[in-house]
Amino acid sequence: MENNKVLYISQEISPYLPETPMSVLGRNVSQGILGKGFEVRTFMPKYGCINERRNQLHEVIRLSGMNLAIDDTDHPLIIKVATLQPSRMQVYFIDNDDYFQPLPDKGLEIDLTPDDNDERIMFFVHGVIETVKKLRWQPAVIHVSGWVSSLAPLYLRKKYQDDPIFANSKIVYALHREKFDGTLDSRFVEKLKMAGFPDDAIAALGTAPADWLALNRLAIDHSDAIIEATADIPAELIEYAKASGKPFIRYNGEENRPEEYSAFYRSLLGEEE
């Protein structure tokens, strides 16, 4: 295999967060794919509830220090890393004092401050992409999981489409049932336009404040393939994914995910097992 690199942009990974279907899948699939002949790197947000000492996170100084502009304001990008056992796979964390402050006894602050979630997910996705560029690590497949990561296909296809690091990458968006209630900030679309995205690129968001369904539709629009990662995905999203005409794996239970996904990645790359 000429390029065997798979990048995971994940919403949750255990043991850094409590075990949920999404966090367990984030851990097991990436480690399982690592054992299938792929080179893997994984990114997630550094939520405030993550205990850095217990999980042995440390800052990567050479990757930190960049400022990312969100809504015409600069925010420093901080990169931390930990080693996931037993595979010894590196997990990178996107951190920033404005968006990922600790909130004691509150769980994931991503669910607690919806007025900021639009900027938080913009910062997270932008930070991942810029860090991968700094690493000079060219992924063949980019596997995007969960609504917190859902802007990654948009950024990759409309902001970094000419970057040689990502130009040939296949983007796989994994649909998960975890969702947020209500809508994102009413200025979300305006902020995306300020970041350089034209109207046609964000048409899936519509004119009303964006909800969970709209974010998933946007991700499907800009991905190369879709995976139904968990059961109980709304029928309208399944139909939207099917109507896209893109390669699509339906949910097939909890077993053999690494094998199933490995074969899917290889088929997208024009290879056989």
Q: What is the pLDDT of residues 167-222, one digit of tens each?
A: 999 999 999 999 888 899 999 999 999 999 999 999 999 888 899 999 999 999 99
| Beta pairing partners, 5 | 39
Terminal Cα distance for the chain, rounded:
10
Nearest to 43 by CA among 67, 63, 62, 61: 63
Determine the pLDDT at residue 256: 85
Determine the pLDDT at residue 111: 54
Determine the pLDDT at residue 200: 95
pLDDT tens string, the chain, 273 residues long: the values are 578 999 999 999 999 998 988 999 999 999 999 988 899 999 999 998 898 999 999 999 999 999 999 998 999 999 999 999 888 899 999 999 888 876 555 556 555 555 788 999 999 999 999 999 999 999 999 999 999 999 999 999 999 999 999 999 999 999 999 988 889 999 999 999 999 999 999 999 988 889 999 999 999 999 999 999 999 999 999 999 999 999 999 998 878 889 999 999 999 998 865
CA-angle at 85, arms to 81 and 89, nearest 5°: 50
Domain range 5-268, CATH class: alpha beta
Please enumerate in sequence order all residues whose Cβ is within 8 A of that of 97, keeping only pairs 6 or more positions apart, or say none. 76, 78
| Beta pairing partners, 145 | 10, 174
Q: Is the pTM of this model over 0.85?
A: yes
- Helix (H) / strand (E) element for 81: namely strand 78-84
Neighbouring C-beta atoms of residue 31, cutoff 10 Å:
19
Neighbouring C-beta atoms of residue 218, cutoff 10 Å:
23
Burial of 74 (0-12, 13-18, 19+ CB in 10 A): exposed
Determine the pLDDT at residue 91: 96
| Beta pairing partners, 226 | 173, 248
Determine the pLDDT at residue 85: 86
Determine the pLDDT at residue 114: 59
In this structure, what token pair is assigned to residue 163?
A: 């970057």
Determine the pLDDT at residue 253: 82
Nearest to 110 by CA among 75, 146, 77: 146
